Structure 1
Amino acid sequence: MELQTMYPFRLPRGYVDVEGTLHREGQMRLATAGDELSALRDPRVKADESYMNPLILSKVITMLGTLPEVTPEVIEGLFIADMEFLQDMYDTINKAEKPQIQVTCPHCGKQFVDTINFQGAG
């Protein structure tokens, strides 16, 4: 089984560049710890924490229409509906799946998959 790291998308409204070209089709990759760490070190984020989301999105969106690159300024120029769409997508694809394990019931011998609870029972 191969891990999917790139996810295509289509913006609800689309980004309109300075020439009036509409860009809707794009691609987002999974985020890395480095993406978030470098964003935390950015002076714009230190000055205003709300800048974290546009900065990270500009790192993980690898393509948007025919734009040569996706910069934080491009993200700032998105319509609110598109920004919310991309934030939801980011959260969805980067959310950790709960770890599971194949187990066998000691009483009946039946095998099943169970979720691992690292915080203990209770």
Structure 2
Amino acid sequence: MPFDMNGYWKMVSNDNFEDYMKALDVNVAIRKIANLLKPYKDIVQDGDHIIIKTLTTFKNYNMDFYVGKEFEEDLKGVDDRKCMTTINWDDDKLVCVQKGEVEGRGWTHWMEGNELHLELRAGGAVCKQVFMKP
């Protein structure tokens, strides 16, 4: 486990989220609402078992997984698709690959100082988010 993500994290920046949502074919009304949100992440990390809860005033999304084990991810509430997801450590980064309808879909988490970084990827679009503990 290269870094400890445990804790409650508040989003402090969100760059290019609109293009990321367009690449996922999220409808315009949902995109407008989602762009206004400042999500929190509540992360529980116990060895290779990780639970990431993304919490907003609009919708919440829970991801419960074991590093290195492929699983079917139901993205209901995000873009209403299902995909086969695998998450692995790559040195000091946690890298997710989501295989399904959208090419190049996935994300990467890493730490820089006291900041938790998240890069979201889909269909050539890249969104960069930064979280800090409140």
Structures share a fold, TM > 0.5?
A: no
Q: Which has the higher strand share?
A: 2
Larger radius of gyration: 1
TM-score w.r.t. the length of structure 1 is 0.31
TM-score w.r.t. the length of structure 2 is 0.29
Q: Which has the higher helix share?
A: 1
